[in-house]
Amino acid sequence: MDEKITQRSVWEKISAKLSKRSLWMLHYCTGCGAIELPPTMTARFDMERFGINPMVTPRQADILLITGYLSVKTLKRVVLTYEQMQAPKYVVGFGSCTINGGMYWNSYSTMKSLDRYIPVETYIAGCMPRPEAIIASFNELINKIDRGEANSWKDYYNNYNFYKENQEHTFEGPIETYNDIKADAALFNIK
Amino acid sequence: MSIVSNLLLLTLLGVLLNVIFYKSEVVQKYISLIIFAILTYLSIVMYPLVGSHFEIPFLIAGQHIGFTITYLNYYFALMITGITLLTVIFSLKFIKGKEGNTHYYTVLFLKTFGMLGVILSSDLLTFFVFWEIMSWSTFALMSTGGEPAHRSAFKYFVFAVTASMILMAGVILSYSLFGSFDFAVIHGKMASLSLPMTGFLLTIFITSFSIESAVFPVHSWLPDGYSNTFTTFTAYLSGISTRIGIYGIILFLFGVFGIQTVDKLGIIGKINFRYVFGIFAALTMIVPTFTALYQHDAKKLIAWHSVGQGGYMLIGLASGSALGIAGGMFHVLNHMAYVVLIVFAIASVEYRTGTTNLNKLGGLIKKMPVSYLALLFGIIGLAGLPPMNGFVSKWFIYRALILGGYPFLAIAAVIGTLGTILSVYKLIHNMFLGQLPERYNDVKEVGFSMQLPMWILMIVVLGLGVYPGLAMGLIAKIQVSLGLAAVPYALHGIKAASGQLDMLVVSAVFIGGIAVTWIIYLLGNRRKHVGQYNNYAGGNFLNKSVAYNFNYEFYAALEHVIDPYRKKIIERTERGIASVTDAVSEYIRRIYTGMINTYGIYVVTAFVVTIIILKELI
Amino acid sequence: MNTVLWIVFLPILLFVIGTFMLGYSRKYVARIERRYGPPIQQVFYDIFKLMSKKTNISHGWMHDFAILMLLGGTLLTMYFVPVPGFHFFAQYGDMLVIMYILLIPALGMALGVGETANPNGSIGISRALMMLAGYDIPFVLTFIGFAMINHTTSMYELIQVQQAGGFAGWGLISQPLLGIAALIALQGMLGEKPFEVMVAPHEIATGPMTEMGGKFLGIMMIQHAISIVVELTIYINLFLGGAVNWFDYLLKLFILFTALISVNAVFGRFRTDDAVRFMWKIPLPLAIIGILFIIF
């Protein structure tokens, strides 16, 4: 990890310092976690002071916040949305459900670990995590970006075969997102 | 003989040859191409002959009748021959294998013959005769294209006959008043006529020409008539044919009656003849333009606009100032260039996809970029945005209206422009933008012979926008020749004491702005093109079986707002016209009493009246 | 020489002012909502972040060109609107030119958004154009009245006429009905609430911006910053007596902008047809009455 940091040019360091101040969030709320977001955005906790704003479409967003459990059906949409986002992009898994299935551990239709399907930058543990926890995790993300460590989105291109295999296994076949991941990898000089 | 007779005889020769070779489309099209090329050449080289006069070598009713070349004629002759040539080039491929194409070029020649005759004639009689030929051939043009075309052409026929009758009444009346058919002689004697009589005579002529140039509320023949025929004819008709009515208005308002005479025709206070005329022009701008919003057919939408744009020309003329009249005249040329360009683009789409229905097309920009560009240039011109030509003439008109003290006519022009922007965006969006339906995946760009006229017109539309002086030189000469003040023009705009217009600077700054933005654009990382199915749909998966497009009822909310007003204005006007026609017809019906002695009285009366008129005439 | 310097530095200057104004508006709205709000330079961060995005998707050449037309058209408008000390281009185009070059960015955007083939974008454009029909009629009518009374359509001369009359010569004071009508129309022109139908994030996913990301959105934000200053400047020049110096100018910008965003902060959003109807029922009759006063 240290090696990576020293590789960064001055411009990249400045760029990280400025970019970390503006993170736009797309919240993917299928589970109960959505209820924790309004207090995070409004007067009590006000995440806009960190430059974090809710956004509507994946094209504009930097953070994909996934709250709660994901069924097989909704996971397809998450993968599509994730692929439509513009790099660099950061996934934040919110709540136990995204980490290990949480209280839906025994469910036949929900997936258990989000990072088998898309690369996750940070997790917020808890059921439910409080707004303080969300703010804390965003701060952690900001610090990671500043240190140049928030590079998990590159994993999707580096290890695409791994993610694709898991996706196809769960979805029982490929899904067509009209995104050419291999070509994109060349765009970022990844292999 | 003179160039005028060459022009007219050559056109007649075209009619003749096309009739002879009516079976062979190939022969027809090359004959037409060659003759129209020569016609265009002749009308260009006519310039040194401006001012010359050509008389038919015999007297009619003791009168010399014939043709003359003035700057105004020259301007219109250039437009007619030029646009017909482009239409013929475009038609070479377009009409292949279409029903009714055997007489396509014949009626085109006949129509050109009529129009050239009208604009070159130097007296009322010749004017009227060619006017009839023109109306008749317009009817022939409109009725090609199947059953709906026949019906709508008949609608035109009713209007055109009415217009001709009114015009004939005007011709007879002015002959009885002035004892001459010649425009120059009539103009000379105009001052001696009493004001009410002048007003009456002018109203007769203007009414007749208003029907031909589709002024609200006698416009209703145009949209159907123009949109049901061949698309190339739509271009030709909306580009130049309707504007012969404007030519008549310019000629009679300024050439025959003269602006000093017209200005004397006051009604109450500031309200004079020109102002009333301006109100009709304002309604012509607003009502048809907003009707265009509702159309689902590209041709019909443009046909409504060609009614609406006529209002700009008329309002420019009605403003009475040098700037406004120049704007009105310039707008004739500009409108011709961009509307023909637009209709050519529509025709290209029709040629490739077989439809002009705005609810069925979409996304064709990927397949037909040149047609898209042509339509884009055309709609920027039509909407009147810089740097295209439509803006310049509209700028003249707005400015003339504002400084002339007509705020409500000026705002009518602005409302018309806004309505135009709305509906032309709908046009380009529904045809070329949005999702490409799967069935148009194999559509290709049109061939060279159809692209060439579009490229030429694109250059004209942009060129006249950046260098309006190219046309303004001629227009200033027309104004001087009609006894008006000439507009102070420069090559790239207008010279005025305050608030000049320099289109070259506007365009240059715009290009500079684009260049700066391009540098900013290049600062970012490379962009990546993606397909239309890689699109945000709230997480839904898109593919060819998912219709993901918005084009049906594009302006539903606005339609909701203007519907009540529209119903009030249009329905009441149309009902009013219908009831007036009904009442008049009822009176006429009463003439036929069915009793033999009444008819006897009619015959005797008609005989006496004829003798009196003949006595007066001879 | 001076002119060249202005030409080079005016866009940068107005961009900086515009971004700070946008940042200020976010802070201001946050304080009204009893939040702490982002730092005032937040918009700079946003633009920088967007410009440095690693992927920038586009749906075709018109999408690419639209973004050039958008900012290019705004820069064009910016040069023609006189600001204190710089009115070089005022001699080449009057207020009518400005009114119509204001529409070029909108048209460019509309075409680019159309090519993204996203119905949210198309609906957004459709709404934007309908709003245009709503606010532009009263706005242009006020200008027509103002130009008619002063016998000029040149914006620079209109400023001079107002400044010659002192405070009482201001358009808002001498023609209050026109001034108020234009003020309401200006709110629609800026696309602030309650006339924010075009963006409407909760209904149509930010409308025209739906498929815009990365540097495309970044350039849109730059354009937004500049165009806000330009549109406010048009109002200042027409109705607030222009500005004699930059202090005066910035003060007027600040006061006018604060007034408009205060309305923005406390209102909801009109439905599109209601917004258009509002524009035709309140500012338009006001402007017509104002003009009738001028005529009679």
CB contact (8 A) between residue B541 and residue A176 = yes
- By residue range, what is the domain housing residue C11? 2-74+91-295
Of these ranges, B267-276, B445-454, C191-200, the one predicted with the greatest mean pLDDT is B445-454
> What average pLDDT does this structure show over A15-36?
84
CB contact (8 A) between residue C89 and residue B505 = yes
pLDDT above 70 as % of chain B: 97
Give chain C's largest Cα–Cα span: 62
> What average pLDDT does this structure show over B250-266?
81
Tell me what pLDDT residue B618 has. Answer: 56
CB contact (8 A) between residue C52 and residue B525 = yes
pLDDT above 70 as % of chain A: 96
Using the predicted structure, report yes or no on whether residue A5 has a pLDDT greater than 60: no
> What average pLDDT does this structure show over C187-206?
82
Q: How far is C55 from chain A (nearest CA, A)?
A: 5
Inter-axis angle of helices C155-164 and C214-239, nearest 10: 40
Tokens 């038919």 label which residue?
B56
Say if CB B552 and CB B359 are below 8 A apart: yes
Residue C170 in any domain: the answer is yes
Tell me what pLDDT residue B411 has. Answer: 85
- Count the Cβ atoms, other than its own, within 10 Å of residue C251: 12
For residue B313, CA distances in Å to A77, B286, B396, B534, C157 come to 56, 13, 11, 46, 29
Chain C's closest residue to A45, CA to CA, is C35
Position A1 confidence tier, pLDDT thresholds 50, 70, 90: very low
Using the predicted structure, report yes or no on whether residue B383 has a pLDDT greater than 60: yes
Inter-axis angle of helices C119-150 and B407-432, nearest 10: 160
Q: Which residues of chain C lie closer than 8 angstroms to B502, CB-CB?
A: 91-93
Q: Which one of C37, C49, C214 has the shortest CB-CB distance to A22? A: C49
Position B171 confidence tier, pLDDT thresholds 50, 70, 90: confident
Average pLDDT over all residues of chain A: 84
Q: Which one of A76, A78, A84 has the shortest CB-CB distance to B536? A: A84
Say if CB B262 and CB B388 are below 8 A apart: no
A105 close contact with C: CB closer than 8 A: no
B436, B525, B527, B534: which to substitute to probe chain A, counting the most A Cβ within 10 Å?
B534
CB contact (8 A) between residue A46 and residue C35 = yes
Tell me what pLDDT residue C229 has. Answer: 92
What is the ipTM, given to two decimal places?
0.90
Q: Which residues of chain C lie closer than 8 angstroms to A60, CB-CB?
A: 206, 209, 212-213, 217
Position B269 confidence tier, pLDDT thresholds 50, 70, 90: low
Q: What is the pLDDT of residues A113-136, one digit of tens each?
A: 888 888 998 888 888 888 889 899
Using the predicted structure, report yes or no on whether residue B566 has a pLDDT greater than 60: yes
Question: What does residue A122 show for φ and ψ, rounded to 5 degrees?
Answer: -135, 155
CA distance B23 to B34: 18
> What average pLDDT does this structure show over A96-119?
84
Tell me what pLDDT residue C226 has. Answer: 92
Tell me what pLDDT residue C258 has. Answer: 92
CB contact (8 A) between residue C75 and residue B513 = yes
CA distance B67 to B74: 12
Tell me what pLDDT residue B105 has. Answer: 83
Position C133 confidence tier, pLDDT thresholds 50, 70, 90: confident
User: How is domain A2-155 classified at the CATH fold level?
Assistant: Rossmann fold (3.40.50)
Q: What is the pLDDT of residues B330-363, one digit of tens each?
A: 999 999 999 999 999 999 988 888 888 888 888 8
Using the predicted structure, report yes or no on whether residue B499 has a pLDDT greater than 60: no
Q: Which amino acid is at C194?
A: P
Q: Which residues of chain B lie closer than 8 angstroms to C72, CB-CB?
A: 510-517
Tell me what pLDDT residue B616 has. Answer: 66
Using the predicted structure, report yes or no on whether residue B36 has a pLDDT greater than 80: yes
Tell me what pLDDT residue C207 has. Answer: 81
Distance of CA C223 to the CA centre of its chain: 10
Chain A's closest residue to C120, CA to CA, is A57
B565: CB partners within 8 A, 6+ apart: none
Position B459 confidence tier, pLDDT thresholds 50, 70, 90: very high
Residue C241 in any domain: the answer is yes
> What average pLDDT does this structure show over C238-245?
83
Q: Which one of A18, A46, A51 has the shortest CB-CB distance to C36? A: A46
Q: What is the pLDDT of residues B193-237, one digit of tens each?
A: 778 788 888 888 888 888 888 887 778 788 888 888 888 888 888
Burial (CB < 10 A; 0-12, 13-18, 19+), residue C267, is: middle
A17 close contact with C: CB closer than 8 A: no
Q: What is the pLDDT of residues C89-131, one digit of tens each?
A: 877 878 888 888 888 888 888 888 888 888 888 888 888 888 8
Q: How far is B273 from chain C (nearest CA, A)?
A: 20
> What average pLDDT does this structure show over C178-205?
84
Tell me what pLDDT residue A95 has. Answer: 84
Which chains share 3+ C-beta pairs under 8 angstroms with B?
A: A, C
CB contact (8 A) between residue C137 and residue B520 = no
Average pLDDT over all residues of chain B: 84
Q: How far is A172 from chain C (nearest CA, A)?
A: 29
Using the predicted structure, report yes or no on whether residue C14 has a pLDDT greater than 60: yes
Residue C205 in any domain: the answer is yes
Which chains share 3+ C-beta pairs under 8 angstroms with A?
A: B, C
Q: Which of residues 132-191 of A touch C (CB under 8 A)?
A: 184, 187-188
Domain chopping of chain A, boundaries: 2-155
Chain C's closest residue to A18, CA to CA, is C45
Tally of domains within chain C:
1
Question: What does residue C254 show for φ and ψ, rounded to 5 degrees?
Answer: -65, -45
3-state class of B447 per DSSP? coil
Q: What is the pLDDT of residues B94-138, one digit of tens each?
A: 777 777 667 788 888 888 888 888 888 888 888 888 888 888 888
Position C16 confidence tier, pLDDT thresholds 50, 70, 90: very high
Q: What is the pLDDT of residues B576-618, one digit of tens each?
A: 888 888 888 888 877 777 777 777 888 888 888 888 877 766 5
Tell me what pLDDT residue B496 has. Answer: 65
Tokens 């937040």 label which residue?
C42
